[in-house]
């Protein structure tokens, strides 16, 4: 929010210094008082931010009140400067000035072009129009034919004067020429110039467009080619002599055609705006052409200055008071100013490009990165599960081998059991047979027993060997040689004879010899605890059974483990399939994003090219237009001169 800046300017007095007026306006600092014999009169004291006495020239007023508006206008802010005051108080002098003391308009024009030329990083397009509001009619001062122009309004342009001529200008001289042309046109159509000028408002308008130069505007990460458009109004108002009273007192004067509606409404608008926030109510901008056109400058989006010009003479005291009251109210108004930026197609494109870039970054930074991370993680998971699967497969193989080994062992054990069973049967059978033989040749059951054991050859059996010892038979009882055929290494009587070199042993003598205490061969029941065949078989069978049981148990456990592993393997296989699908899907998405990006980039390139073409076209058109314009202006001047000449030239008598 920004307050309207208001300054009061006194023009030099026209009354003679010897006039005997007892009342005088006195200025001390920024306070103005009407004094009677140096004593302030109550109700006639005012204070302002800026008061300019008659000694100060236009340059000071410009520097203090206007320069900031001009600078802001170049930067894209709307700006308006009004000159308000009664007729002959110095409004036109303040706005236009003289040759020696150029006014605000020429100073502003000079300043604008100076600044533009110094601003190398932006390019400017300046259009100028000059209009007059007289009797609530808008006339174009640059084109004589354009009278009574209508005001239009639309969303895009806001309020605008339809059909007004806008000159594109490139230097200060050109603008000053146009101003001159406007003044001439004003004079041209009016016989009583003074009466008209005191009742008309002139608005000199400059539209300043700018954007960053191309090399800057195409920087990747900025949107500098947004076009700034600002409107600068320099307004010389109609004389406020009657309106001041109207505005101050809110009285609606009915003066027929002399009522200046625009100025009256301006007073009302200022009154309303100065009331501030809540009491404000409806602001009657639409009630007059002037307030409608200048709406942004009044409580809207514009930096605004009002120069209230006053005449110091005693005769104008009341008018001056009215002007000061108006100024007091106006300084309470606040405007809300902001840069006017228009996004061109190129700027829009750039913004979109940046947005896409941003999205892409976000996609790379988040979504795509996340996707890639997910992809990576899933690949890792897949890899892990493959490793796990391999490990399980190896374990499975080992288990399988172990199982085969166990099964093999079981088979062996079963074979052995079978053998054992067979042996047991055959042992019974041979035992039965040998018992028959023993009956014939008195073979002891022990022999059969040992034979049986020899045949069995079970490593588990801790049995004495068959050739361990042979008990010498008692000769008394044995009629035939008791020595079995296979007892080859057992000494017999013949051997003894041969060993005794033919000496026949007196066996009787032997018998005479007191019998040696022969240690009796331990009987199977007493000294050598040899289990019986059945017992051994049973024991062996038992052990084998136990073994078999253990092996079966192990086998069961292995089977269980195997099925578990197989289950895990299946789950992993399923997971792998899922992960492969995910990876494919993600890869598809990435491809899609890539192709979209390609399309957008292509479109951008195309639009860029189109924009450059358009710019070129516009430049070409402007040049052609300026040339034609120059030609037309000179043609116009010539034709005018010709008309003047024709008018003044004496008409030759017709012969």
Write out the binding residues for ATP. 85-92
Q: How far is the CB of 96 from ligand ADP (least distance, A)?
A: 8
Out of 13, 24, 68, 92, the residue judged to bind Mg ion by CB under 5 A:
92
Cα separation of 387 and 404, whole Å? 25
Nearer of residues 66 and 74 to Mg ion, judged by Cβ: 66
- Our measurement of the distance from residue 228's CA atom to the centroid of its chain's CA atoms, rounded to an integer in Å, reads 26
Nearer of residues 92 and 554 to Mg ion, judged by Cβ: 92
Going by C-alpha positions, the residue among 523, 534, 562, 281 that lies closest to residue 399 is 562
Going by C-alpha positions, the residue among 400, 406, 410 that lies closest to residue 548 is 410
Please report, as residue ranges, which positions from 299 to 338 form the binding site for ligand ADP (by CB under 6 A).
Answer: 309
What string marks each residue from 365 to 404 as x (binds ligand ADP by CB under 6 A) or -? ----------------------------------------
Residue 46 interface partner, choices ligand ADP, Mg ion, none, CB cut-off 5-8 Å depending on type:
none
Nearer of residues 266 and 579 to ligand ADP, judged by Cβ: 266
Q: Does residue 12 interact with ligand ADP by CB under 6 A?
A: yes
Q: How far is the CB of 91 from Mg ion (least distance, A)?
A: 5
What string marks each residue from 194 to 233 as x (binds ligand ADP by CB under 6 A) or -? ----x-----------------------------------
Q: Does residue 90 interact with ligand ADP by CB under 6 A?
A: yes
Q: How far is the CB of 625 from ligand ADP (least distance, A)?
A: 35
DSSP state of 138: E
Nearer of residues 11 and 186 to ligand ADP, judged by Cβ: 11
- The angle subtended at Cα 489 by Cα 484 and Cα 494, nearest 5°, is 75
Cα separation of 214 and 223, whole Å? 12
The piece of 87-95, 167-175, 299-307, 638-646 that touches Mg ion (CB under 5 A) is 87-95
Q: Does residue 190 interact with Mg ion by CB under 5 A?
A: no
Please report, as residue ranges, which positions from 172 to 201 form the binding site for ligand ADP (by CB under 6 A).
Answer: 198
Q: Does residue 177 interact with Mg ion by CB under 5 A?
A: no
In sequence order, what are the beta bridge partners of 128? 167, 206
Q: Does residue 245 interact with ligand ADP by CB under 6 A?
A: no
Going by C-alpha positions, the residue among 450, 452, 497 that lies closest to residue 470 is 450
The piece of 87-95, 492-500, 588-596, 598-606 that touches ligand ADP (CB under 6 A) is 87-95
Main-chain phi, psi angles of 443, to 5 degrees:
-75, 135
Residue 256 Rama label (left phi>0; alpha psi -120 to 50; beta): left
Cα separation of 458 and 539, whole Å? 12
3-class SS of residue 3: strand
Residue 90 interface partner, choices Mg ion, ligand ADP, none, CB cut-off 5-8 Å depending on type:
ligand ADP
Residue with tokens 């010892």: 469
Going by C-alpha positions, the residue among 209, 203, 204 that lies closest to residue 291 is 203
- Pair type for strands 31-36 and 137-140: unpaired
Q: How far is the CB of 313 from ligand ADP (least distance, A)?
A: 11
Cα separation of 496 and 491, whole Å? 7
- C-beta of residue 399 within 8 angstroms of C-beta of residue 564: no
DSSP run (H or E) holding 112: helix 104-118
Q: Does residue 458 interact with ligand ADP by CB under 6 A?
A: no
Q: Does residue 87 interact with ligand ADP by CB under 6 A?
A: yes
Main-chain phi, psi angles of 30, to 5 degrees:
-110, 15
Out of 68, 92, 328, 626, the residue judged to bind ligand ADP by CB under 6 A:
92
Residues forming contacts to Mg ion in the complex (CB under 5 A) are: 91-92
Residues forming contacts to ligand ADP in the complex (CB under 6 A) are: 11-12, 85, 87-93, 198, 239, 309
């Amino acid at each position: 929010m920004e307050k309207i800046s208001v300054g009061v300017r006194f023009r030099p007095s026209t009354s003679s210094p010897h006039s005997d007026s007892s009342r005088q306006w006195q200025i001390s600092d920024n306070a103005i008082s009407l004094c009677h014999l140096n004593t302030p009169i109550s109700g006639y004291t005012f204070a302002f931010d800026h008061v300019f006495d008659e000694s100060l020239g236009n340059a000071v007023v410009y520097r203090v009140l206007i320069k900031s508006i001009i600078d802001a206008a170049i930067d894209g802010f709307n700006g308006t400067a009004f000159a308000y005051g009664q007729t002959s108080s110095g409004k036109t002098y303040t706005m236009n000035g003289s040759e020696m003391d150029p006014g605000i308009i020429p100073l502003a024009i000079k300043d604008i072009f100076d600044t533009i030329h110094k601003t190398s990083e932006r390019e400017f397009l300046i259009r100028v129009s000059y209009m007059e509001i007289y009797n609530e009619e808008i006339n174009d001062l640059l084109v004589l034919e354009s009278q009574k122009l209508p005001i239009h309004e639309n969303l895009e342009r806001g309020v605008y004067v339809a059909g007004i001529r806008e000159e594109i200008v490139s230097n200060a001289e050109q603008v000053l020429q146009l101003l001159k042309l406007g003044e001439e046109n004003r004079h041209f159509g009016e016989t009583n110039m003074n009466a008209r000028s005191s009742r008309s408002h002139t608005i000199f308008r400059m539209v300043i467009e700018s954007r960053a130069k191309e090399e800057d505007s195409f920087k990747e990460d900025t949107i500098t080619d947004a076009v700034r458009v600002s409107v600068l109004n320099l307004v010389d108002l109609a004389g406020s002599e009657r309106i001041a009273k109207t505005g101050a007192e809110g009285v609606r004067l009915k003066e027929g055609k002399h009522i200046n509606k625009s100025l009256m409404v301006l007073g009302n608008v200022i009154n309303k705006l100065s009331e501030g926030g809540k009491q404000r109510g409806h602001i009657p901008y639409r009630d007059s052409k002037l307030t409608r056109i200048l709406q942004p400058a009044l409580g809207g989006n514009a930096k605004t200055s009002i120069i209230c010009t006053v005449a110091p003479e005693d005769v104008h005291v009341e008018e001056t008071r009215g002007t000061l009251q108006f100024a007091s109210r106006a300084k309470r108004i606040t405007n809300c100013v902001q840069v006017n930026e228009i996004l061109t197609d190129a700027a829009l494109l750039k913004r979109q490009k940046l947005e896409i870039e941003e999205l892409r970054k976000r996609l790379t930074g988040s979504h795509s990165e996340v996707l890639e991370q997910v992809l990576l993680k899933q690949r890792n998971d897949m890899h892990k599960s493959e490793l796990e699967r391999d490990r399980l497969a190896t374990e499975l193989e080992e288990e399988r081998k172990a199982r085969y080994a166990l099964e093999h062992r079981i088979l062996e054990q079963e074979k052995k059991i079978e053998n054992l069973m067979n042996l047991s049967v055959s042992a019974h059978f041979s035992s039965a047979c040998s018992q028959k033989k023993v009956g014939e040749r008195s073979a002891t059951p022990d022999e059969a027993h040992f034979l049986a054991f020899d045949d069995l050859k079970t490593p588990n059996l801790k049995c004495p060997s068959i050739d361990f010892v042979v008990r010498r038979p008692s000769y008394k009882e044995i009629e035939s040689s008791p020595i079995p055929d296979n007892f080859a290494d057992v000494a017999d009587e013949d051997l003894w004879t041969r060993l005794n070199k033919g000496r026949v042993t007196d066996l009787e003598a032997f018998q005479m010899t007191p019998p040696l205490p022969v240690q009796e061969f331990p009987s199977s029941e007493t000294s050598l605890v040899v289990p019986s065949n059945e017992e051994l078989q049973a024991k062996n069978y038992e052990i084998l059974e136990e073994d078999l049981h253990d092996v079966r148990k192990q086998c069961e456990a292995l089977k269980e483990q195997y099925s578990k592993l197989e289950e895990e393997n299946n789950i992993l296989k399923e997971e792998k399939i899922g992960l492969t699908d995910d990876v494919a899907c993600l890869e598809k998405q990435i491809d899609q994003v890539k192709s979209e990006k390609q399309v957008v980039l292509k479109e951008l390139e195309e639009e860029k090219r189109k924009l450059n073409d358009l710019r070129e076209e516009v430049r070409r058109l402007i040049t052609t237009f300026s040339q034609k314009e120059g030609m037309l202006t000179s043609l116009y001047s010539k034709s005018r001169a010709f008309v003047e000449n024709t008018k003044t030239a004496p008409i030759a008598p017709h012969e």
